Structure 1
Amino acid sequence: MDLSTPPPDLYGRPRADTFFRFLTAFGDRYSPALGSPLLRRNPRRPFSRPTEALQLVVTARRQVAVDVVELTLADPSGGPLPGWQPGAHLRLTLPSGRERHYSLCGDPAGQTDQTGQAGQADQAGPAGRSGYRIAVRLLPDGGGGSAEIHDTLHPGTWLTARRPRNGFAFCAEPAVLFLAGGIGITPLLPMVREARRNGLDWHLVHTGRSADTLPFAAELRALDPARVHLRTDDEHGGPPTGTELLAHAPRGAAVYCCGPAPMLTAVQRALDASPAASLHFERFGAAPVTDGEPFTVRLGADGPELPVPADRSALDVLREARPDLPYSCRQGFCGTCEVRLLAGTPDHRDRRLTPERRADGALLPCVSRAAAGETLVLDL
């Protein structure tokens, strides 16, 4: 016998057992659908375990512009953190319980010190970093998240976060134009470093009200003064037009834009007549409602009815009645504002809920709407 060849089955029998082969195939195919709790999960498939939240501690804080603070977050034990790619963001749970998303603005390929110089990659390699960097502008009229960060997050403060996620991925096209408005530089700064590292034909335009409102200006200039253009409203008599911004684009360039809504609108309108070929963008907040119809939300089966105008979101209306209703991204991808639908036919416009979750009554009021005259009854 050739001992280098394994036998046909565990017991050395020359033929597979036909009955057990059929039974195994039947179980693999049908066991998830059977009613018994013991048979609902295919035993050949591993259990899916929820991802554990990250425990983080603030290790450094500094002012990087007027009303903008930079925070460095690390593992309290000093261990490596999960890796990430340019454009990724963290979903932070603040000490108050508020959840907010902030773009990572460090360098995923290595350390970045406070002078903005990229250093040696840490020993964890590309799969892990020793610290995350975010920058937050204070919004006095916001929902309280930025004020809490500015007022309470100092070195030594602990908080939790979800692992980095990316909804604004950088594709590293050969020619790239980056357009940042104010704090919109945060997701673009790692992309600029990646473009520089890969020898791409890149340019950056960073706009703001005045020089002291532009975060990381010195860090950007140090990357390549010839490719970085800092443009302020006070020196040019007002905000730039879309045509002016896109004039910096190399022929056939991909444009990556992050900034306030008027800036995005101006760039979108001027794109076709520009040298650029494509546009990728990330918004600060919710997109304006352009095709909505007025409908109504009711708080519980016998609760008050709240009219939702055609140009406002259900979340905005709900928060006027329930200011403690949680929210974060306002764009339909984080799930923080999820509520339960009791009755009505919604128009789901989110990018998170599965068909099964929607069928079970999950609804994201930040983007979801209903037909004109429809009433959505919510479990609130």
Structure 2
Amino acid sequence: MTAYEAELVVGRRDLAADGVLALTLRHPLGERLPAWEPGAHIDVLLGPGLERQYSLCGDPADRHAWRIAVLREPDGRGGSAYVHEQLEEGGKVRVRGPRNHFALHSSPRYRFIAGGIGITPLLPMLAAAEAAGAEWTLLYGGRTRDSMAFTEELRRYGDRVAVAPQDETGLLDLGSVLDDVPEGTLVYCCGPGPLLDAVEARCPSGALHVERFQPKVRETGENTAFEVVLERSGRTVTVAPDVSVLDAVRAAGVEVLYSCTEGTCGTCETDVLDGTPDHRDSVLTDEEREAGETMLICVSRCRGKRLVLDL
């Protein structure tokens, strides 16, 4: 499995809101960047052990620039602090991707819900829905108005966008957009875990598409040992109870792409040729988990004694 990887130049740094930095990335030689669609993200390789995923929030038609926005998290693991403090205009950063597990599906009607920095993957979705002539609304919440990025950019959509800072309006009124939703409407939501949980609790799963920044807490069974057959490599490895499939495969000398190791980015998604995965990720849909055709090997395991993977 291969993916585009290159060192890009920071063309611009813009303060999108209090604590939110927008970066425009370009190829140093002016080369075109890979095409992408709304919902895509890239891996930003900030240093050894410091790799983060950020949604592309610019214009997919602009093949010479990628825009991301990074929220500074004082209690984070160092990635956002590095971006805010070290990546200056003209500086270089290595990136990989793009990758999309939050694709915008065609529909005549949409309801978009964003919480905080969760607005980023939705920005190009709004533009695509508008260009397609779809009926849509956006409910956008945040701690304060000043902390909410891209509100000026959203003004062009008029009253289809409802900006609701918590210190002014309280918690988001989800009923205003999720009650009495016409059949065929798709709901897209991105933001903090409690918001996504609340939306999931009142929205039909077939209509709902979410993207999580943190892994969803799932009840899982006991970890047991099992075998993984690597079909293309001709090897069989044993996965111990306290070892992930990803780590077992890498220890056997098979290189695979991976990033978050938490089941949220989708980088390590692997085709399953035989066996039943025990899905523990926060990326695949219920339908994809039921089908069992792929799995995220950084967190998911086996419901049985043997898996055959396309590795």
TM-score, normalised with respect to structure 1: 0.61
Which residue among 217, 223, 226 is the counterpart of 1:288?
217
Aligned pair in 2 of structure 1 residues 79, 142: CA closer, same or farther (>3 Å)? same
Question: SS state of the match for residue 194, structure 1?
Answer: helix
Could you tell me which residue of structure 1 aligns to residue 207 of structure 2?
A: 278
Figure out how many residues of one structure are paired with residues of the other and give that number.
262
Q: Is the 8 A contact 1:72 1:134 kept in 2?
A: yes
Give the Cα separation in 1 of the matches to 2:138 and 2:149.
14
Structure having the larger proportion of residues in strand:
2
When residues 347 and 269 of structure 1 are mapped into structure 2, their CA distance, relative to the original with a 3 A threshold, is: closer
User: Structure 2 vs 1, CA of residues 269 and 52 (structure 1 numbering), >3 Å: closer, same or farther?
Assistant: closer
For residue 159 of structure 2, what is the aligned residue in structure 1?
A: 226
Question: What displacement does 1:181 show?
Answer: 0.6
From the superposition, tell whether residues 194 and 314 of structure 1 become closer, same or farther in structure 2 (CA, over 3 Å): same
Letter in 2 for 1:70: A
- Cα distance in 2 for partners of 1:158, 1:293 equals 44
Residue 330 of structure 1: aligned partner? 262
Partner of 1:133: 67
For residues 12-41 of structure 1, give each alpha carbon's deviation from its aligned partner in whole angstroms, at most 9, with x where no partner exists.
xxxxxxxxxxxxxxxxxxxxxxxxxxxxxx
Please state how far the C-alpha of 1:64 moved relative to its aligned partner.
0.7
Matching of residue 91 in structure 1 with residue 43 in structure 2? yes
2:74 counterpart of 1:145 = no
1:199 and 2:133 equivalent?
yes
Query: Kindly tell me: are residues 169 and 348 of structure 1, through their superposed partners in 2, closer, same or farther at Cα, counting changes over 3 Å?
Result: closer
Q: Return 5+ residue gaps in structure 1 as ranges.
A: 1-48, 111-128, 298-304, 316-325, 337-345, 353-361, 372-380
Percent sequence identity over aligned pairs: 43
Stretches of structure 2 that go unaligned for 5 or more consecutive residues are 226-239, 247-257, 270-276, 285-294, 304-311
The equivalent residue for 2:93 is 159
For residue 118 of structure 2, give the secondary structure of its aligned residue in structure 1: helix
1:74 corresponds to 2:32: no
Alpha-carbon displacement from aligned partner over 1:310-333 (angstroms, at most 9, x marks no partner):
xxx999xxxxxxxxxx95262252
Trace 1:1-380 onto structure 2 (pairs within 5 A): 50-96=2-48, 98-110=50-62, 129-222=63-156, 224-236=157-169, 238-247=170-179, 249=181, 252-272=184-204, 278-289=207-218, 291-293=219-221, 295=223, 328=260, 330-331=262-263, 333-335=266-268, 347=278, 349=280, 364-365=297-298, 367-368=299-300
203-212 or 88-97, larger mean C-alpha shift = 88-97
Q: 1:197 to 1:270 in 2, by over 3 A?
A: same
Aligned residue identity for 1:133: R
1:79 partner amino acid: E
Secondary structure of 1:176's counterpart equals: strand
CA distance in 1, matches of 2:92, 2:217: 35
Which residue pairs with 1:113 in the alignment?
none
- Structure whose CA Rg is larger: 1
Query: 1:163 Cα deviation (Å)?
Result: 2.6
Contact 1:101 1:329 in 2 (8 A): no
Kindly indicate whether the alpha-carbon contact (under 8 Å) linking 1:295 and 1:370 is maintained by their aligned counterparts in 2: no
Q: 1:77 to 1:282 in 2, by over 3 A?
A: same
